[in-house]
Structure 1
Amino acid sequence: MLKQRILTAMVLIPLALLGLFGLTGGAFALFTGAVVLLAAWEWANLSGFERLGPRLGYVLVLAMAMLAAWHMNVMMATWPLWIALLGWLVSFYWIATYPESLKQWSHSWLRLLTGLWVLLPCWIGFVQLRSSGAEWLLYVLLMVWLADIGAYFAGRRFGRRKLAPAVSPGKSWEGVYGGMIATAVLAIGFAVVLELSFGRSLGLIVTTIVVTLVSVLGDLMESMFKRLRGIKDSGDLLPGHGGVLDRIDSLTAAVPLFALLRLWG
């Protein structure tokens, strides 16, 4: 398993770096769109559709929505990001009240619809951040990765109070605090490197802490859906790493919100 994880990472990391930072414009949109469509394939399975036809149909629907968004020039609009924000507020309620909330979202068609407002705004957010400069795309990626690392080590060392035991028993509030500290340090470092004013630096720190908290919802909601389906991973497209959705679940929440706060601020 470890060998598989290492070999997969050796192939994926250069490809991801090339696609995320070597491409711009339409090429970047195609690259990130392909990743999101792979996640949509797995989301259909999370929604209870195992057969080839329905899963391909769902991927096609999302692909058509992406194409329409591109041709209707909504790629720099904020309203898809606002939809994502409202959707994640609903998700927060579902997670906080699980398992009582199960009857509200357990229908397969509702989980499919949920995937549309999760995945499409995430893709739009990626395109918007890349258009505003590679440094902000790099920043949101580092933020999510550091939040995971900080949460892992803080949770292992200090974890006592469970965050959402019914959804993901391994997560703790201490882990969340560790992730927030790690990303706050990142924000301070970025502010220094970019020589931001005090006001902009403070805004970046606050934005970072808020987005770090919201990114946890992406992980928890996927865990909640997997728990209903009785599966460990969203897929097996990445040997040793599970599915694509397993790797980008936190980004689906963090990217659209960070893009919204960047543009709105």
Structure 2
Amino acid sequence: MLKQRIITGLALLPVALGGVFLLPVQWFAVFVGAIISLGAWEWANLSGFSAQWQRVLYALVTGSALVGFYGMPASFLLGAGLVWWLTALMLAISYPDSTSAWRPRVMRLVIGWLVLIPAWSGLVYLKSKNAPGSEYQGDLLILYVFVLVWGADVGAYFSGRAFGKHKLAPHLSPGKTWEGVLGGILLISLIALGVSWYQEMTLFHTLGLLAVTWVVGFVSVLGDLLESMFKRERGIKDSSQLLPGHGGILDRIDSLTAAVPVFSVFWLLIS
């Protein structure tokens, strides 16, 4: 299983990075939109709609919505995403008491849009920040978010295995610990300091970068917990079996769906 996960991960990495660095913004929006639509196909199952035609219909409606939203100001969708993730934090903290608020299947479908569409909008918005004279600025912003999420995940894995004692959310994800989360935050803090040193940032800007990095790191954990909450309610381990050894699309992008819109809101406010 581990070998399969490594092979699949290595196969996906150049696809993801190629999409970020090689595609113009219009085709990048299509590329990410296809991934989001596959995620929507999986989310329909998490919502309790297991029939194939229902899942395909939800994916098609989601993809059509992305087409309609393209070209709109990013602030609307990113603002909706930010409000949603603040709400999701409350739902995760109060689980399982919060279950009655989101158990209806239609409500879970709406939540799927609040999870997936702002993530697509955030990636397209960051990609559009490729300014003249700085060709890859937007691409590097996306890469930085990816590295933060991967770093938080890797740091949490090793720190949790070595020091994990205090459960983070035993009702949602028994394997996650506070020690693991803090290990992930420590690793991405070192990444942020490395970026600050390379960019020769002032102390003020370094502290700002660290603050954004910490928020994004914690929010990425929330994205993971939220999907765990829905999978637990649905009684399934993986969102699908599309990726051998990795489960489904949502299992790979759950942290990014939270991290991307929150990071994009910060960048929107800064710029």
2 CA distance for matches of 1:184 and 1:6?
26
Q: Partner of 1:78: helix, strand, or coil?
A: helix
Question: What is the 5 A alignment of 1:38-77?
Answer: 38-70=38-70, 73-74=71-72, 76-77=73-74
2 CA distance for matches of 1:193 and 1:128?
25
The alignment status of 1:123 with 2:120, answered yes or no, reads: yes
The alignment status of 1:136 with 2:133, answered yes or no, reads: no
The Cα shift of 1:192 comes to 1.5
2 CA distance for matches of 1:116 and 1:233?
19
The residue number in structure 1 matching 2:83 is 86
CA deviation profile, 1:71-121 (whole Å, cap 9, x unmatched): xx22x4212111111111111111111111111111111110001011000
Number of corresponding residues: 262
The Cα shift of 1:5 comes to 2.5
2 CA distance for matches of 1:60 and 1:202?
43
Q: Partner of 2:110: helix, strand, or coil?
A: helix
Give the conservation status (yes or no) of the 8 Å contact 2:40–2:59: yes
CA deviation profile, 1:237-264 (whole Å, cap 9, x unmatched): 0011100100000000000000110111
The Cα shift of 1:130 comes to 1.6
Q: Which amino acid aligns with 1:7?
A: I
Question: What is the 5 A alignment of 1:179-194?
Answer: 179-194=184-199
2 CA distance for matches of 1:188 and 1:12?
28
Q: Partner of 1:239: helix, strand, or coil?
A: coil
The residue number in structure 1 matching 2:14 is 14
Question: What is the 5 A alignment of 1:1-265?
Answer: 1-70=1-70, 73-74=71-72, 76-132=73-129, 133-265=138-270
The Cα shift of 1:185 comes to 0.9
Give unpaired runs (5+ residues) of structure 1: none
Q: Partner of 2:118: helix, strand, or coil?
A: helix
1 CA distance for matches of 2:75 and 2:183?
31
Q: Partner of 2:74: helix, strand, or coil?
A: coil
CA deviation profile, 1:117-137 (whole Å, cap 9, x unmatched): 110000010111122221111
Q: Which amino acid aligns with 2:49?
A: F
Q: Which amino acid aligns with 1:118?
A: V
Give the conservation status (yes or no) of the 8 Å contact 2:74–2:122: no
CA deviation profile, 1:160-191 (whole Å, cap 9, x unmatched): 11110001001111111111111111111111
1 CA distance for matches of 2:227 and 2:96?
14
Q: Partner of 1:100: helix, strand, or coil?
A: coil
Q: Which amino acid aligns with 2:185?
A: M
Give the conservation status (yes or no) of the 8 Å contact 2:91–2:98: yes
TM norm structure 1 = 0.95
Give unpaired runs (5+ residues) of structure 2: 130-137
Q: Which amino acid aligns with 1:55?
A: R
Give the ranges of 4+ consecutive aligned residues of structure 1 lying more than 6 Å apart after TM superposition.
Answer: none
